[in-house]
């Protein structure tokens, strides 16, 4: 993460908190992120210095007016005007981190060989909340490369309870 992405995201987050609109800003950023992911050439267009800034900022207004929060639209235009549109994804990730920190929430990315039932998800949330002392949101992914078991990425830590990892540990013990 660059200092630029952090600084812009922190400024936007402070504004969102002042306006009591942290989630609204986040949803607007998420909408912009989806558009930029679906149309990578759009972000490239916004980063092209040979195109006048006024044309690029007008394009943002045309694309997002009445679809996202006006402050977030102004933020996107500011990034564009300062030649920092390529930092958008970094800003988004930092804003997301600040939002989670402020709400005492963490996202756990859970990978399993098969889809978890609702009861399994609730049990996992309960155990992870007990472990972290924070509210946990699950992002579940079915990973066909797993033989069985589960992996959880939580707060930068990897908890690997996959069959593959367990077999690896058994091999290490046997080879000692």
Q: What's the burial of 28, exposed, middle or buried (CB within 10 Å: 0-12/13-18/19+)?
A: buried
Q: Which of 101-105, 112-116, 158-162, 171-175 has the highest mean pLDDT?
A: 112-116
Task: Work out the burial of residue 8: count CB atoms within 10 Å of its CB; fewer than 13 is exposed, 13-18 middle, 19 or more buried.
Answer: buried
Q: Which domains, ranges and CATH numbers included, belong to the chain?
A: 3-100 (1.10.520.20), 104-175 (3.40.30)
Mean pLDDT over each residue of the chain, to the nearest integer: 91
- Alpha-carbon distance 21 to 69, whole Å? 9
Structure tokens at 74: 């102004």
* Average pLDDT of span 3-22: 90
What sign results for the dihedral spanned by CA atoms 114, 117, 119, 122? positive
Question: Contact, 142 vs 148, CB < 8 A?
Answer: no
- Could you tell me which of 18, 14, 32 has the C-alpha nearest to residue 69? 32
Interacting residues of 87 by C-beta distance below 8 A, sequence separation 6+: 2, 4, 5, 8, 79
Q: What is the pLDDT of residues 86-134, one digit of tens each?
A: 999 999 999 998 998 888 888 899 999 999 999 999 999 999 999 888 8
Question: Given a cut of 80, is residue 152 above it in pLDDT?
Answer: yes
Question: 70, 76 in Cβ contact below 8 A?
Answer: no
CA angle 29, 32, 35 (to 5 degrees): 150
Residue 12: CA count within 13 A, CB half-sphere: 35
- Nearest-angstrom CA–CA distance, 69 and 31: 10
């Amino acid at each position: 993460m660059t200092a630029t992405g952090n600084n812009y995201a922190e400024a936007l987050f402070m504004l969102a908190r002042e306006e009591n609109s942290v989630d609204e800003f986040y949803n607007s950023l998420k909408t912009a992120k989806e558009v930029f992911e679906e149309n990578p050439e759009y972000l490239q267009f916004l980063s092209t210095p040979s195109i006048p800034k006024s044309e690029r900022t007008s394009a943002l207004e045309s694309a997002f007016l009445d679809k996202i929060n006006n402050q977030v639209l102004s933020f996107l235009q500011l990034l564009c005007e300062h030649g920092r549109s390529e930092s958008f994804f970094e800003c988004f990730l930092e804003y997301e981190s600040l939002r989670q920190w402020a709400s005492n929430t963490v996202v756990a990315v859970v990978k399993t060989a098969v889809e978890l039932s609702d009861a399994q998800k609730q049990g996992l949330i309960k155990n992870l909340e007990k472990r972290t002392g924070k509210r946990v949101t699950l992002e579940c992914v079915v990973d066909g490369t797993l033989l069985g078991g589960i992996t959880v990425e939580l707060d930068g830590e990897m908890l690997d309870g996959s069959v593959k990892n367990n077999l690896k540990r058994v091999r290490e013990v046997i080879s000692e």
